[in-house]
């Protein structure tokens, strides 16, 4: 049984609105920031002490690949800029920051991601794994959370509110882009624009569907050892409207996609940020 997502979806849509309109919600007490260094975007999420979204900012970026920081200075510059934008908007200094990692990456890469957050001027208080961050936004205690990022597909399996298994496999949105580029004989930049254009979905999805089926089979392998009733998908690469149906066909269980799936993990990182 999938649980009621009404409140989580309302929170996500509110966060999406704040980013889109470049505005903020009033708050009391201390603010906390989540920094999501994604393969396609860097997203900063600011929440109050009650975990309500206060503000957010996003920047398209290629500083991370498969959970590894490939352009350290670029990552620091972009994060510093977004932090400055939000501080100007809110009229305060943002102090406490948290970041996230895909499950199963090497400790050196974890350190690099943390160092970016610190070099941008945050006091790093927490490093959480991405699907676990997502689970806290969705308020899930049981099920599998699948974070389909640009470079990887991360899986967290939760039982009674505890994470009992995590895995990460190198198949994500970037692989969809490569398949599209090969199919159309175009550059990866052109393929990426094509993939992100909702108007092109009817042409794009049939081409990238085998990649989605591969992601689903990765999840299926994990679920063979840790069966669950429901799978929750988040991340930018699952934005296609038919994404859940392909997953459901492979897995044979309900697959739920929340509102604004790209923003679930950043918001969850902020919620996991300690004071």
CA distances from 3 to 50, 126, 154, 231 (A): 21, 27, 21, 11
Distance of CA 145 to the CA centre of its chain: 11
**DSSP for residue 3:** P
Q: Are 18 and 24 in contact (CB under 8 A)?
A: yes
Residue 101 is encoded by which pair of tokens? Answer: 């990692």
Residue 249 is encoded by which pair of tokens? Answer: 């066909």
For the four alpha carbons of 37, 173, 158 and 224, in that order, the dihedral sign comes to negative
The alpha-helical segments, DSSP class H, found in the chain are 6-21, 72-90, 107-119, 130-138, 173-184, 188-196, 201-225, 243-251, 264-271
Binning pLDDT at 50, 70 and 90, where does residue 2 land? low
Same fold, 6-129+266-271 and 136-261: yes
- Average pLDDT for residues 237-251, to the nearest whole number? 92
Q: Which of 137, 152, 176 is nearest to 260 (CA)?
A: 137
**Residue entry with tokens 């790093």:** 124
pLDDT at 225: 93
- The full set of domain ranges for the chain reads 6-129+266-271, 136-261
pLDDT at 65: 75
Q: Write out the DSSP string of 12-77.
A: HHHHHHHHHHT------S--EEEEEE-SSEEEEEEE-TT--EEEEEEEE--SEETTEES-HHHHHH
* Per-residue model confidence as pLDDT tens digits over 128-147: 988 889 888 999 989 999 98
Specify the CATH number of the domain 136-261. 3.30.420.40
Burial of 77 (0-12, 13-18, 19+ CB in 10 A): middle
Residue 211 φ then ψ, to 5°: -65, -40
Using DSSP's 3-state secondary structure scheme, residue 140 falls into coil
Using DSSP's 3-state secondary structure scheme, residue 198 falls into helix
- Average pLDDT for residues 53-75, to the nearest whole number? 87
Cα angle 20-21-27, degrees, rounded to a multiple of 5: 105
* Per-residue model confidence as pLDDT tens digits over 9-60: 999 999 999 999 999 999 999 999 999 998 778 999 999 999 999 999 999 8
pLDDT at 74: 92
Task: Check pLDDT > 90 for residue 217.
Answer: yes
Binning pLDDT at 50, 70 and 90, where does residue 163 land? confident
CATH tag for 6-129+266-271 (out of 3.40.50.300, 3.30.420.40, 3.40.190.10, 3.10.129.10): 3.30.420.40
Strand 53-60 and strand 64-65: the pairing is unpaired
pLDDT at 109: 77
Q: Are 171 and 258 in contact (CB under 8 A)?
A: no
Determine if the pTM surpasses 0.75: yes
């Amino acid at each position: 049984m999938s649980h009621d997502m009404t409140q989580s979806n309302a929170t996500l849509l509110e966060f999406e609105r704040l980013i889109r309109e470049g505005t903020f919600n009033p708050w009391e007490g201390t603010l906390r920031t989540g920094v999501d260094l994604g393969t396609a975007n860097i997203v900063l999420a600011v929440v109050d002490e009650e975990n309500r979204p206060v503000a957010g900012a996003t920047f398209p970026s290629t500083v991370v690949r498969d959970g590894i920081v490939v352009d350290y200075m670029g990552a620091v510059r972009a994060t510093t800029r977004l932090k400055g934008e939000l501080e100007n908007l809110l009229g305060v200094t943002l102090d406490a920051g948290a970041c996230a990692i895909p499950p199963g990456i090497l400790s050196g890469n974890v350190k690099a991601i943390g160092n970016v957050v610190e070099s941008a001027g945050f006091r790093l208080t927490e490093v959480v794994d991405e699907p676990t961050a997502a689970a806290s936004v969705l308020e899930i205690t049981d099920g599998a959370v699948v974070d389909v990022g640009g470079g990887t597909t991360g899986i967290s399996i939760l039982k009674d509110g505890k994470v009992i298994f995590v895995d990460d496999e190198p198949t994500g949105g970037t692989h969809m882009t490569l398949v599209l580029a090969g199919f159309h004989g175009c550059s990866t930049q052109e393929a990426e624009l094509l993939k992100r254009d909702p108007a092109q979905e009817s042409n794009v999805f049939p081409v990238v569907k085998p990649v989605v089926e591969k992601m689903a089979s990765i999840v299926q392998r994990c679920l063979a050892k840790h069966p669950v009733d429901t799978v929750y998908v988040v991340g930018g690469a699952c934005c296609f409207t038919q994404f859940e149906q392909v997953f459901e066909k492979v897995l044979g269980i309900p697959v739920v996609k929340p509102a604004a799936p790209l923003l679930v993990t950043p918001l969850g990182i902020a919620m996991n940020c300690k004071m």
